[in-house]
C-alpha cells in the first residue's frame, strides 16, 4: 500500500487511541467497544445481542469497566479510533474502498484491535478485503499455546466449536505487525452466536459459557497485550 503523510486530524486520533490504550492498561478506566459497519451487502448488523451479553459477562466475571451499550462504527470513519476493540461479523459480501482500507490499516497500526468473527459465509470475502488493508501480510493460524487462548480462561485446544457450519474444526487466525497481534479472525467457530441470547439459537448453557469465556479472552488480550 502506498505510504503517504497522514492528515493532522488522523494523527490526533491515532495519538488519542494510543493514550486510551495506555490508560486502560494502567487503571480500570471505563471504555466502550463497537461493531464494524461495512459495505458490500453483507449483514454487518448480525448478532444484535452478542456484544451486550459479552460486555455484561466481562463486567460481572472479570470486573471490567465496559459501557453497557456497544456502538456501531463505519470502517472509514474517524470515530473508529475511539474504540480499543472493534467486532466484525456477517454472512456475506464485504467491500472496503481504498480510503476505508487505509483508515482501518491506520487504526490497527496505531494500537487498535479488530476481531473478525465468521458467522458462516464471510470467509471468501474477508480474505480478499484484508489484502487491501495489509498487502504485505498473510493471515496465520495461531498455535494453541498462544496467550489469546490462555489470558483469563484456558482453552488448551484453541477455539471452542459453537456452531457446526461445514463441520470443520474451528481455527483462530491472526495478522501480526512487528510482533503485535492487530487482528484476530475466529473461523468455523461462530463465537457471536454463542454470545447471543439463549432463545435465539437455543444453544446449551455450557456452550454459551465457552463462547463467552473465549470472547473475554480475546477482549482482555486486545486491551492488555504487551
Give the global pTM.
0.88
> Tell me, what's the pLDDT at 53?
97
pLDDT for the residue numbered 15: 55
Report the distance separating Cα 195 and Cα 201, nearest Å: 10
In whole angstroms, give the CA distance from residue 27 to residue 33.
17
**pLDDT of the residue at 25:** 46
pLDDT the model gives residue 67: 96
The class level of CATH for 8-224 reads alpha beta
Cα 99 from Cα 121, distance rounded (Å)? 25
With 70 as the cut, is the pLDDT of residue 14 above it?
no
Residue 138 burial (CB < 10 Å; 0-12/13-18/19+)?
exposed
Q: What residues does 89 pair with on adjacent strands?
A: 117
In tens, the pLDDT along 98-154 reads: 999 999 999 999 999 999 999 989 999 999 999 999 999 999 999 999 999 999 999
Give percent above pLDDT 90 in the chain.
79
What's the pLDDT tens digit per position in 160-218? 999 877 878 999 999 999 999 999 999 999 999 999 998 888 889 999 999 999 999 99
More confident residue, 21 or 93: 93
Residues 27-86 have pLDDT tens digits of 467 899 999 999 999 999 999 999 999 999 999 999 999 999 999 999 999 999 999 999
Provide the residue ranges of all domains of the chain, joining segments of one domain with +.
Answer: 8-224
Amino acid at each position: 500500500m502506498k505510504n503517504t503523510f497522514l492528515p493532522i486530524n488522523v494523527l490526533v486520533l491515532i495519538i488519542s487511541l494510543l493514550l486510551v490504550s495506555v490508560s486502560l492498561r494502567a487503571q480500570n478506566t471505563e471504555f466502550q467497544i463497537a461493531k464494524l459497519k461495512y459495505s458490500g451487502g453483507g449483514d454487518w448488523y448480525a448478532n444484535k445481542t452478542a456484544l451486550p451479553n459479552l460486555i455484561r459477562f466481562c463486567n460481572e466475571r472479570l470486573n471490567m469497566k465496559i459501557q453497557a451499550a456497544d456502538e456501531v462504527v463505519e470502517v472509514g470513519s474517524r470515530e473508529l479510533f475511539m474504540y480499543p476493540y472493534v467486532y466484525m461479523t456477517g454472512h456475506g459480501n464485504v467491500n472496503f474502498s481504498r480510503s476505508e482500507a487505509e483508515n482501518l490499516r491506520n487504526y490497527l497500526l496505531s494500537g487498535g484491535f479488530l476481531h473478525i468473527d465468521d458467522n458462516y459465509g464471510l470467509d471468501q470475502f474477508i480474505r480478499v478485503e484484508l489484502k487491501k488493508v495489509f498487502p504485505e501480510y498473510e493471515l496465520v493460524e495461531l498455535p494453541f499455546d498462544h496467550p489469546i487462548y490462555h489470558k483469563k480462561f484456558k482453552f488448551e485446544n484453541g477455539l471452542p466449536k459453537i456452531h457446526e457450519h461445514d463441520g470443520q474444526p474451528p481455527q483462530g487466525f491472526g495478522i501480526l505487525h512487528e510482533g503485535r497481534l492487530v487482528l484476530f479472525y475466529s473461523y468455523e467457530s461462530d463465537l457471536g452466536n454463542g454470545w447471543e441470547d439463549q432463545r435465539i439459537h437455543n444453544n446449551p448453557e455450557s456452550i454459551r459459557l465457552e463462547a463467552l469465556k473465549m470472547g473475554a479472552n480475546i477482549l482482555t488480550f486486545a486491551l492488555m497485550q504487551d
